[in-house]
Amino acid sequence: MGIKFVNNFETTISSGINDSVTTIPVTSATGFPALGASDYAYCTLQKESPLTLEIVKVVAISGTNLTVVRAQDGTSASAFASGDAFELRMTAAGINEVATSAASAATVDDATALAIALG
Protein backbone atom coordinates (compact mmCIF):
# COMPACT_ATOMS: atom_id res chain seq x y z
CA MET A 1 0.00 0.00 0.00
CA GLY A 2 2.67 2.55 0.92
CA ILE A 3 3.71 5.01 3.54
CA LYS A 4 1.89 5.01 6.89
CA PHE A 5 1.50 7.78 9.45
CA VAL A 6 0.02 7.96 12.93
CA ASN A 7 -0.19 10.83 15.40
CA ASN A 8 2.17 11.01 18.36
CA PHE A 9 3.74 7.54 18.38
CA GLU A 10 6.70 7.47 20.71
CA THR A 11 8.56 4.75 22.55
CA THR A 12 12.12 4.00 23.60
CA ILE A 13 14.73 1.50 22.51
CA SER A 14 14.68 -1.42 24.97
CA SER A 15 18.30 -2.52 24.50
CA GLY A 16 21.29 -0.89 22.89
CA ILE A 17 21.97 -1.24 19.16
CA ASN A 18 25.05 -0.68 17.02
CA ASP A 19 25.11 1.12 13.68
CA SER A 20 24.43 -2.03 11.61
CA VAL A 21 21.49 -3.61 13.47
CA THR A 22 18.34 -3.84 11.32
CA THR A 23 15.94 -5.14 13.99
CA ILE A 24 15.35 -2.58 16.71
CA PRO A 25 13.77 -3.69 20.00
CA VAL A 26 11.44 -1.11 21.55
CA THR A 27 9.66 -0.98 24.89
CA SER A 28 6.20 -0.78 23.28
CA ALA A 29 4.77 -0.88 19.76
CA THR A 30 1.25 -0.03 20.93
CA GLY A 31 -0.16 2.64 18.65
CA PHE A 32 2.26 1.99 15.79
CA PRO A 33 0.39 1.66 12.48
CA ALA A 34 -0.19 -1.84 11.12
CA LEU A 35 2.13 -2.56 8.21
CA GLY A 36 1.12 -4.74 5.28
CA ALA A 37 3.58 -6.40 2.90
CA SER A 38 4.49 -3.20 1.04
CA ASP A 39 3.81 -0.68 3.83
CA TYR A 40 6.41 1.31 5.73
CA ALA A 41 6.82 4.28 8.06
CA TYR A 42 9.69 6.69 8.65
CA CYS A 43 10.79 6.99 12.28
CA THR A 44 13.44 8.97 14.10
CA LEU A 45 15.89 7.63 16.66
CA GLN A 46 17.28 10.26 19.02
CA LYS A 47 19.87 10.31 21.74
CA GLU A 48 20.48 13.42 23.80
CA SER A 49 24.19 13.48 24.54
CA PRO A 50 25.70 14.16 22.17
CA LEU A 51 22.55 15.00 20.22
CA THR A 52 22.27 12.38 17.48
CA LEU A 53 19.35 11.81 15.12
CA GLU A 54 18.85 9.00 12.63
CA ILE A 55 15.84 8.45 10.40
CA VAL A 56 14.94 4.83 9.67
CA LYS A 57 12.36 3.22 7.41
CA VAL A 58 10.31 0.66 9.37
CA VAL A 59 9.30 -2.15 7.01
CA ALA A 60 8.00 -4.82 9.42
CA ILE A 61 6.85 -5.32 13.00
CA SER A 62 6.94 -8.45 15.13
CA GLY A 63 5.77 -7.77 18.68
CA THR A 64 8.13 -5.09 19.97
CA ASN A 65 10.81 -5.68 17.31
CA LEU A 66 10.85 -3.32 14.36
CA THR A 67 12.68 -4.26 11.16
CA VAL A 68 14.23 -1.17 9.62
CA VAL A 69 16.33 0.20 6.79
CA ARG A 70 18.94 2.40 8.45
CA ALA A 71 20.31 5.86 7.57
CA GLN A 72 17.38 7.31 5.63
CA ASP A 73 16.66 10.85 4.47
CA GLY A 74 20.28 12.04 4.58
CA THR A 75 21.08 10.72 8.06
CA SER A 76 23.86 8.36 9.11
CA ALA A 77 23.50 5.08 10.98
CA SER A 78 24.59 5.44 14.61
CA ALA A 79 24.69 3.41 17.81
CA PHE A 80 21.86 4.02 20.28
CA ALA A 81 21.40 2.98 23.91
CA SER A 82 18.54 1.53 25.87
CA GLY A 83 16.16 4.37 26.73
CA ASP A 84 16.92 6.47 23.64
CA ALA A 85 13.86 7.82 21.85
CA PHE A 86 12.17 6.09 18.90
CA GLU A 87 9.37 8.20 17.39
CA LEU A 88 7.22 8.31 14.28
CA ARG A 89 7.62 11.92 13.15
CA MET A 90 7.00 13.88 9.99
CA THR A 91 10.10 13.66 7.81
CA ALA A 92 11.07 15.30 4.54
CA ALA A 93 11.21 11.86 2.90
CA GLY A 94 7.65 11.08 4.00
CA ILE A 95 6.24 14.40 2.86
CA ASN A 96 8.08 14.23 -0.47
CA GLU A 97 6.79 10.70 -1.13
CA VAL A 98 3.20 11.74 -0.43
CA ALA A 99 3.55 14.81 -2.67
CA THR A 100 5.10 12.77 -5.49
CA SER A 101 2.40 10.12 -5.21
CA ALA A 102 -0.36 12.73 -5.30
CA ALA A 103 1.19 14.46 -8.30
CA SER A 104 1.57 11.22 -10.25
CA ALA A 105 -2.02 10.20 -9.43
CA ALA A 106 -3.43 13.41 -10.91
CA THR A 107 -4.79 13.00 -14.44
CA VAL A 108 -5.39 15.38 -17.32
CA ASP A 109 -9.10 15.23 -16.46
CA ASP A 110 -8.27 16.32 -12.89
CA ALA A 111 -6.22 19.24 -14.19
CA THR A 112 -8.97 20.24 -16.65
CA ALA A 113 -11.65 20.07 -13.96
CA LEU A 114 -9.51 22.19 -11.65
CA ALA A 115 -8.86 24.76 -14.38
CA ILE A 116 -12.59 24.99 -15.12
CA ALA A 117 -13.44 25.29 -11.42
CA LEU A 118 -10.90 28.05 -10.97
CA GLY A 119 -12.18 29.81 -14.06
The CA distance from 94 to 53, in Å, is 16
Confidence at residue 116, expressed as pLDDT on a 0 to 100 scale: 63
Helices (H), the chain: 92-105, 108-118
Task: Give the residue ranges of the chain where pLDDT is below 70.
Answer: 106-119
Residue 76, classed as helix, strand or coil, is coil
DSSP-assigned letters across all residues of 23-84: EEEBS--TTPPP--TT-BEEEEEEETTTTEEEEEEEEEEETTEEEEEEEETT-----B-TT-
Annotated domain spans of the chain: 10-91
> What's the pTM value of the predicted model, to 2 decimals?
0.84
- What's the pLDDT at 110? 62
